[in-house]
Amino acid sequence: MFTIVDEVERSTEVLARWIEEHGYRADGFVREVYLDYCPDTPENGVTELQLPVRPA
């Protein structure tokens, strides 16, 4: 069964790897912004992840 939490967790891990591989480090907490929320079909929704970063 698809859950939005599972997908956001995987995406956050990818984001964290990209940040580290490109010489940055996180400088705060991840925020989730729901750009298109679909309660009946969450797999069709669009969530933006935001994380402040700074050079490592």
Average pLDDT, integer, range 4-9:
77
Distance, CA of 46 to CA of 14 (rounded, Å)? 17
Backbone φ and ψ for 3, nearest 5 degrees, come out as -130, 140
pTM above 0.75, yes or no: no
3-state secondary structure 4-40: HHHHHHHHHHHHHHHHHHCCEEECCCCEEEEEECCCC
Q: Would you say residue 2 has pLDDT above 70?
A: no
Rg (CA), the chain: 13
9-46 pLDDT per residue, tens: 888 899 999 999 999 999 999 898 989 988 888 888 88
Where residue 1 falls among pLDDT bands split at 50, 70, 90? low
Closest CA to 3 of 45, 34, 32: 45
Q: Would you say residue 5 has pLDDT above 80?
A: no
